[in-house]
């Protein structure tokens, strides 16, 4: 993806930007500084499995449900005098999609199955089995400037459907499997591609399909289901949240959504949205696979919105905001596998576009690990994507305390991300401070030097890299270097409207209601701006968010929700949550919210808002970043040497009474809370690591020398129970 000529122009582009000739810098960027091609590849659907049922025309009592705890979807209806049921799940342990169709009377299951793919090369049928083979190619006439055109040989795939009928007859004709008058049938679908890794597409899809299906065939439906349920429950049952009126669960979701608008709130539905986000992570981001993209894994379009890839100026990170807090730590791993690739491809971009060391990633990546700048200069030329993602490595360490992970995986990647900036930071000719550039405050204004967000991210990355090197007792020289440079990075500034400045200059427009709130990064997900460590910046950041307003796209509401929780304003956070959990519409004017299946709408469907909502609910109930943090030095909590638990820091009046268990805090503490009428009744804190722990509730703080394996129980006055 890199442009080997880019380097010839980079010094000139930077000098133009330093001389504040920003328009000229943009023109030169547009001509010479993007990757080749200037867009990345989309995540594509393989195709559709189409099932036709004879009996559905007269169906009554139709009911469709998804059990978040077991990960099994179910459809049932009455046709004539029989009740027909379909159960569907995607099994992580067995790598197959399974649908079991049964009737409560013998001989009532008749169904035809076929497969369709825009990328079809060949299809074959044999008794009880359909196979299609395909390869990625250009289909249709439409194009999208955000999606790179097809070039050369692409991925191959095979998808195979197997039917296990019980009773009745089964035949395969004209690409169709026809099951008639069976008692039940189980369909098993698997898909394999030739993707081995981002540099090798020499895999053997037919062999993989055969291997997966022969393993599945050694089990029966009940066993497959039991294995899937055990896997899924293992993740989902770790966290319970009880708020609001659970009896409303009996109502269909679409009716509930409409009712929320009328009633003002349905705390139990919001709890469901919280768990749905966990479900979506468990279903889309499992070890060995790709990280969750803009649509998770649920893209059905050949030209999906923004390519259904990874936008990392907010979206991909937001997907992973709830992962540690809501006890799904292992769902983080696919992101780290991708980072390992990106550190390789990004090292080439660092060299070829900037002539510096380390690795860099701009605002997007794809399956092919594109790291070069793409699209346009107000968002494509942004250097801190890899740096932001690298903070996730440190967070994973803070939550798990896994030193081996820090040593073998996290630190080398963090160090590489930091080394890029050791070489690439430049001195502001006006102030003498260090900053990034040319870059931008994502998707706003144009090309600039030293946007606030970049400085916050790089300062945090440097701080965390220093802390990691210290924890591992390595790289003393680099630690000193990073410490010195970190102090030189241009500080945060409060501007003329009492706002946190988004840029080096005080040029913010208080009427700007842009969806991106990049400069507030230091409040959340960062922790440089804190209520007790930097009260003035804290107030200024809040002022900036007030200027931005509440109305927003799906993910932007997700971000604002977390920010208001960080501002310790539960009612404001909840107001945003309610705006988020409202019926969405693609019609003009489009309306952000959630669709009937609770998928978040940007609009259109984009999954980040779901994950932002889940993280936001957790953030209202428990915070474990250091509320005394500042941008100048990393505290013991931020370095992982101590821990801080803030219980019910932003509890909204609408969630006055409830219970939560299984939330996780930095330091690996597992927390259960029980509260009534807005007041804590009991907190139970199970320590997985030994470290000094501060607990704060309602303005009171106590200190405990926590010991791994011990459980601590407190009442509202923080006295041990
Ligand atoms: C960023 C956002 C858009 C959208 C896209 C996928 O560019 O500004 O709103 O979410 O990512």
User: Could you give the CA distance from residue 558 to residue 614 in angstroms, rounded to a whole number?
Assistant: 9
Residue 516 CA, closest ligand 1 atom number:
8
Which atom, in ligand 1's list, is nearest to the CA of 294? 6
My answer on whether omega of the bond before 400 falls inside 30° of 0, hence cis, is no
**pLDDT number for residue 262:** 81
Per-residue pLDDT of 380-391, as tens digits, reads 999 999 999 999
Pocket of ligand 1 contains residue 306 by CB under 6 Å:
yes
Diameter of the chain measured on Cα atoms: 83
> CA-CA distance, 76 to 79, in Å (whole number)?
10
Q: Does any ligand 1 atom lie closer than 6 A to the CB of residue 443?
A: yes
Ligand 1 contact via 502 beta carbon (within 6 Å): no
DSSP code per residue over 430-481: TT--EE--SB-STTSSSSBSS-HHHHHHHHHHHHHHHHHHHHHT--HHHHHH
pLDDT band at residue 150 using 50, 70 and 90 as cut-offs = confident
Q: What is the pLDDT of residue 438?
A: 96
DSSP H helices in 113-220 = 205-217
The 10s digit of each residue's pLDDT in 512-550 is 999 999 999 999 999 999 999 999 999 999 999 999 999
Could you give the 3-state DSSP secondary structure of residue 565? Answer: helix
pLDDT of residue 149: 86
For the segment 444-462, what is each residue's pLDDT rounded down to a tens digit?
A: 999 999 999 999 999 999 9
Residue 710, token pair as written in the block:
């011990």
Q: Evaluate: CB of 311 within 6 angstroms of ligand 1.
A: yes
In the prediction, which pLDDT does 263 show? 76
Nearest to 572 by CA among 653, 662, 485, 468: 653
Measured in Å, residue 150 CA sits from the centre of ligand 1 at: 23
The overall average pLDDT reported for the chain is: 96
Q: What residue's CA is closest to ligand 1, atom 1?
A: 311
Tell me what pLDDT residue 699 has: 97
Does residue 553's CB lie within 6 angstroms of at least one atom of ligand 1? Answer: yes
Most informative mutation of 146, 292, 294, 314 for ligand 1 (most atoms within 8 A of CB): 314
Q: For residue 102, is pLDDT > 90?
A: yes
Mean pLDDT to the nearest integer, 181-198: 97
Cα of 404 from ligand 1 centre, angstroms: 35
Q: What pLDDT score does 265 carry?
A: 77
Judge whether residue 437 has pLDDT over 90: yes
Can you tell me the mean pLDDT for 700-710? 98
What value does the mean pLDDT take over residues 335-352?
Answer: 98
**Which 3-state string (H, E, C) describes 325-353?**
CCCCHHHHHHHHHHHHHHHHHHHHHHHHH
The closest of 214, 245, 263, 257 to 96, measured between CA atoms, is 214
pTM of the model as a whole: 0.98
Cβ pair 125, 172 in contact under 8 A: yes
Q: Assess contact for 164 and 115: CB atoms under 8 A.
A: no
Distance from the CA of 305 to the center of ligand 1, in angstroms?
A: 9
pLDDT tens readout for residues 460-514:
999 999 999 999 999 999 999 999 999 999 999 999 999 999 999 999 999 999 9
Element (H, E) at 164: strand 156-166
How many A from CA of 269 to the centre of ligand 1? 27
Least confident of 140-144, 451-455, 573-577: 140-144
Strands 96-103 and 169-173: unpaired
């Amino acid at each position: 993806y890199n442009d080997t000529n880019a380097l010839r122009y980079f010094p000139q582009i930077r000098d133009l930007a330093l001389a504040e000739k920003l328009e000229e810098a943009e023109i030169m960027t547009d001509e010479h500084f993007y990757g080749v091609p200037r867009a990345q590849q989309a995540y594509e659907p393989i195709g559709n499995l189409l099932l036709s049922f004879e009996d559905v025309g007269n169906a009554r009592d139709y009911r469709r449900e998804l059990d978040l705890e077991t990960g099994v979807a179910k459809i049932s209806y009455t046709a004539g005098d029989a009740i027909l049921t379909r159960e569907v799940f995607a099994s992580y342990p067995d790598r197959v999609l399974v649908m079991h169709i049964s009737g409560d009377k013998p001989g009532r299951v008749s169904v035809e199955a076929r497969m369709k793919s825009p990328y079809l090369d060949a299809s074959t049928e044999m008794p009880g089995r359909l196979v299609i083979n395909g390869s990625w190619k250009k289909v249709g006439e439409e194009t999208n400037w955000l999606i790179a055109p097809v070039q050369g040989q692409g991925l191959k795939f095979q998808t195979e459907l197997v039917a296990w009928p019980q009773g009745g007859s089964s035949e395969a004709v004209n690409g169709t499997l026809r099951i008639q008058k069976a008692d039940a049938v189980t369909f098993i679908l698997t898909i394999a591609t030739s993707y081995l890794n981002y540099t090798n597409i020499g895999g053997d899809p037919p062999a993989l399909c055969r291997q997966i299906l022969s393993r599945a065939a050694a089990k029966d439906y009940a066993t497959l289901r039991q294995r899937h349920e055990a896997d899924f429950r293992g993740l989902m049952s770790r966290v319970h949240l009880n708020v609001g009126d659970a009896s409303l669960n009996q109502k269909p979701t679409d009716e509930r959504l409409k009712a929320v608008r009328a009633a003002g709130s349905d705390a139990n539905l919001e709890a469901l949205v919280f768990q749905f986000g966990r479900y979506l992570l468990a279903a889309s981001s499992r070890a060995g696979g790709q990280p969750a993209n803009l649509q998770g894994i649920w893209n059905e379009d050949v030209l999906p919105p923004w390519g259904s890839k990874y936008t990392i100026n907010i979206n991909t990170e937001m997907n992973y905001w709830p992962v540690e807090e809501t006890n799904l730590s292992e769902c983080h791993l696919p992101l780290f596998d991708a980072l390992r690739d990106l550190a390789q491809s990004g090292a080439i971009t660092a060299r070829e576009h900037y002539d510096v060391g380390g690795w860099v990633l701009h605002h997007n990546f794809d399956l092919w690990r594109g790291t070069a700048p793409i699209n346009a200069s107000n968002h494509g030329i942004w250097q801190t994507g890899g740096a932001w993602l690298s903070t996730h490595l440190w967070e994973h360490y803070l939550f798990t305390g896994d030193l081996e992970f820090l040593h073998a995986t996290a630190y080398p990647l963090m160090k590489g991300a930091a080394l890029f900036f050791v070489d690439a930071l430049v001195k502001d000719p006006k102030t003498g401070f260090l900053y990034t550039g040319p870059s931008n405050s994502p998707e706003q204004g144009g090309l600039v030097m030293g946007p606030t967000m970049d400085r916050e991210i790089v300062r945090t990355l440097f701080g965390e890299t220093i802390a990691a090197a210290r924890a591992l007792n390595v790289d003393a020289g680099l630690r000193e270097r990073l410490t010195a440079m970190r102090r030189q990075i241009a500080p945060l500034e409060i501007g003329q409207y009492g706002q946190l400045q988004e840029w080096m200059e005080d040029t913010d427009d208080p009427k700007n209601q842009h969806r991106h709130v990049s400069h507030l990064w230091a409040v959340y997900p960062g922790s440089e701006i804190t209520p007790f460590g930097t009260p003035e910046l804290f107030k200024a950041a809040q002022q900036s968010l007030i200027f931005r307003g509440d109305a927003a796209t799906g993910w932007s509401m997700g971000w604002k929700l977390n920010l208001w929780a960080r501002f310790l304003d539960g009612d404001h956070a909840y107001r945003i949550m309610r705006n988020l959990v409202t019926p969405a519409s693609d019609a003009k004017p489009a309306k952000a919210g959630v669709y009937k299946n609770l998928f978040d709408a940007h609009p259109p469907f984009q999954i980040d808002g779901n994950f932002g909502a889940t993280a936001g609910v957790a953030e209202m109930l428990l915070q474990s970043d250091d509320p005394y943090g500042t941008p100048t030095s990393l505290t013991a909590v931020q370095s992982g040497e101590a821990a801080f638990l803030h219980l019910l820091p932003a509890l909204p009046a609408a969630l006055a009474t409830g219970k939560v268990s299984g939330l996780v805090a930095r330091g690996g503490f597992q927390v259960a809370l029980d509260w009534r009428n807005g007041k804590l009744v009991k907190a139970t804190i199970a320590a997985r690591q030994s470290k000094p722990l501060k607990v704060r509730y309602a303005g009171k703080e106590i200190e405990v020398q926590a010991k791994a394996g011990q459980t601590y129980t407190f009442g509202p006055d923080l006295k041990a129970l």
